[in-house]
Amino acid sequence: MEASVILPILKKKLAFLSGGKDRRSGLILTIPLCLEQTNMDELSVTLDYLLSIPSEKCKARGFTVIVDGRKSQWNVVKTVVVMLQVILVSANKLTRYIEPCQLTEDFGGSLTYDHMDWLNKRLVFEKFTKESTSLLDELALINNGSDKGNQQEKERSVDLNFLPSVDPETVLQTGHELLSELQQRRFNGSDGGVSWSPMDDELLAQPQVMKLLDSLREQYTRYQEVCRQRSKRTQLEEIQQKVMQVVNWLEGPGSEQLRAQWGIGDSIRASQALQQKHEEIESQHSEWFAVYVELNQQIAALLNAGDEEDLVELKSLQQQLSDVCYRQASQLEFRQNLLQAALEFHGVAQDLSQQLDGLLGMLCVDVAPADGASIQQTLKLLEEKLKSVDVGLQGLREKGQGLLDQISNQASWAYGKDVTIENKENVDHIQGVMEDMQLRKQRCEDMVDVRRLKMLQMVQLFKCEEDAAQAVEWLSELLDALLKTHIRLGDDAQETKVLLEKHRKFVDVAQSTYDYGRQLLQATVVLCQSLRCTSRSSGDTLPRLNRVWKQFTIASEERVHRLEMAIAFHSNAEKILQDCPEEPEAINDEEQFDEIEAVGKSLLDRLTVPVVYPDGYGSCSYHFIFYWC
């Protein structure tokens, strides 16, 4: 029976144990009857409760019952006496059985008793006893279940059924406060408050409280260890669950995303789109990698403070998580590097394609240079563009080979499947791009060779035209020299013969110049036919050349005739003079003289005639001067 159940009855103070003892060390039970009618049932309940408090040892010493009927009717007193079968003793004879110090003030004693204070402390004690007993049973159940290694309990997370119904800390604190009061023999524990004399340990239940506290501490210590182990197990299970979530996602959806992304694109735009898609995949992986970092830190902390039995499992989880994450990170990095290499490859291919288009456009435009210098400049530009194409193609080959090497290094483990088919498509695309660029470059080289030959022929044509014009100028200069400076006929036959010999050499030079000009003009015609064009200057150069040559030929022949006539004249005159050196006037052979005179007159007449007649070929003439000795 608990005090809280019959609290209204106990508050009526129908009976109480004051803590006093008789001379036999038996407890004194006091029944203070009042003027009001006493309910015997309530009194019986009160007595049953009070008599259940002392220990069996204390009960064996018996009780002294004091029925205070001074304020009650006799019939009530009689009823109580009969019910309890006690001996009636007057109040003044109580000291025969009980020391005054063991009697309350109501009976002339000095023992102080506060019923409400006792009742409150009794309630506290019973509450502590009830809670501690229940808590001990619960803790024992939890601890014993943990000691037996209940597999079902270990496999599930924290279950409310395995938590105590009351807080052990609160119960322990209540017990310590109660024990402190009991040890001080004070129920209120405050100075100046109402207190009452000490009772025996059996009545105050100090040993029982101490025993309960000891048991509670023991069980609670075990419970804390169980909770620690359970918390550690729960944390380990949570970590294991999160690890499996990370592993399952990376090996499942994460790997599936990478499996679906195997292409490299066929252009810069396609590669950039694949890179953007890959960045989205990396962003999703980053969230799981962040969970991996957090889990790795938690596992490291548990490894530093973990038990030997958990080290193997923790290290296994850490190794599994690290292997999967590093493998997935390697796949992401490989994919990123592959896409970057593909982007660079397509960038170089696009630049090279633009260079080839520019070169082809330049080759498709017909060449109409103004002179040889512009042709040389155009040739230089073509060579530079062709060299740039060579460099670009070499760069494309290097990028393509690097990309092929990366693809060839892609093993089946990278995406968890055989990637031979996908790789073949990528390889075919890369090789196709490089072969196409090689063919385009070869076609451009062939066209450049043709254009180079054509432009070199044009350079040669311009050179021939320039040289032919120069030949005309040279021939004109020779003609001018012939007409202006080659006018002397010599003072004697010998000098005239020398002049004739020089003239013939002069004619040879002019002949060579004319032949050179004719050859250049013939070469010009051949080159124009090869180039399928018309010469800019051959149309008037050839007539000019022929006209100057004709003028030179006429003047040269006239010069030869006059020199030959001068030689004949000088020879005959010198012969006559040799025959009559002292008297040239006495020439007997009139016929010979007439012949010399006729030659001289003929020569003088020829000198009066222009060398070139006024028919558009010139009008220069020159005369001989004769000196007679």
Which of the pair, 421 or 593, is modelled with greater confidence?
Answer: 593
The domain segmentation of the chain, as residue ranges, is: 3-113, 261-455, 486-580+589-620
pLDDT at 537: 55
pLDDT at 424: 86
pLDDT surpassing 50 at residue 184: yes
What six digits make up the tokens of 147?
Answer: 């000691």
Report whether 284 contacts 246 (CB < 8 A). Answer: no
Report whether 392 contacts 425 (CB < 8 A). Answer: no
pLDDT surpassing 70 at residue 412: no
pLDDT at 434: 93
pLDDT surpassing 60 at residue 11: yes
- The DSSP symbol for 367 reads P
Other beta carbons within 10 Å of 521: 23
pLDDT at 609: 67
pLDDT tens for residues 315-358? 888 888 899 999 889 989 988 999 999 999 999 999 999 999 98
| Confidence at 261, pLDDT banded by 50, 70, 90 | confident
Q: What percent of the chain has pLDDT over 90?
A: 16
The pLDDT of 497-521, averaged and rounded, is: 91
Contacts of residue 608, defined as CB under 8 A and 6 or more positions apart, other chains included, come to: 621, 623
Beta bridge partners of 98: 22
| Confidence at 623, pLDDT banded by 50, 70, 90 | very low
pLDDT surpassing 70 at residue 156: no
Among the residue ranges 60-74, 305-319, 493-507, 542-556, the one predicted with the least confidence is 305-319
Amino acid (one-letter) located at 356: L
Closest C-alpha among 542, 483, 477 to residue 510 = 477
pLDDT tens for residues 562-602? 888 888 888 888 887 776 655 555 555 567 677 778 888 88
The pLDDT of 392-420, averaged and rounded, is: 75
| Confidence at 415, pLDDT banded by 50, 70, 90 | very low
pLDDT at 187: 43
Other beta carbons within 10 Å of 27: 26
Among the residue ranges 38-52, 53-67, 302-316, the one predicted with the least confidence is 302-316
pTM above 0.95, yes or no: no
pLDDT tens for residues 207-225? 788 888 898 888 888 888 8
Q: What percent of the chain has pLDDT over 70?
A: 83
CA quadruple 513, 515, 520, 523: dihedral, nearest 10: -170
Contacts of residue 403, defined as CB under 8 A and 6 or more positions apart, other chains included, come to: 264, 338, 341, 342, 345, 430
What homologous superfamily does CATH list for 3-113? CRAL-TRIO lipid binding domain (3.40.525.10)
The pLDDT of 250-259, averaged and rounded, is: 87
What six digits make up the tokens of 590?
Answer: 């009139």
Q: Is 19 left (phi over 0), alpha (psi -120 to 50) or beta?
A: left
DSSP secondary structure, 267-313, as one string: SHHHHHHHHHHHHHHHHHHHHHHHHHHHHHHHHHHHHHH--HHHHHH
In the numeric block, the tokens 């524990």 are attached to 189
CA angle 197, 200, 202 (to 5 degrees): 140
Q: How far is CA 98 from the centre of its chain?
A: 98
What six digits make up the tokens of 51?
Answer: 């008599």
DSSP secondary structure, 34-71, as one string: -SSPP-HHHHHHHHHHHHTSS-HHHHHT-EEEEEE-TT
pLDDT at 85: 67
Summary mean pLDDT of the chain: 80
Distances (CA, A) of 318 to 238, 248, 257, 306, 314: 14, 15, 24, 14, 6
Euclidean distance between CA atoms 380 and 455, whole angstroms: 11
**Topology annotation, domain 261-455:** Methane Monooxygenase Hydroxylase; Chain G, domain 1 (1.20.58)
Of the ranges 33-47, 98-112, 279-293, which is most confident?
279-293
pLDDT at 158: 41
User: How many residues does the structure list for the chain?
Assistant: 629
Among the residue ranges 257-266, 284-293, 521-530, 573-582, the one predicted with the least confidence is 573-582
Euclidean distance between CA atoms 60 and 25, whole angstroms: 10
> Counting Cβ atoms within 10 Å, is residue 508 exposed (0-12), middle (13-18) or buried (19+)?
exposed
Say if strands 63-68 and 27-32 run parallel, antiparallel, or are unpaired: parallel
Q: How far is CA 522 from the centre of its chain?
A: 71
Among the residue ranges 142-146, 446-450, 531-535, 536-540, the one predicted with the least confidence is 536-540
pLDDT at 584: 54
Contacts of residue 183, defined as CB under 8 A and 6 or more positions apart, other chains included, come to: 206
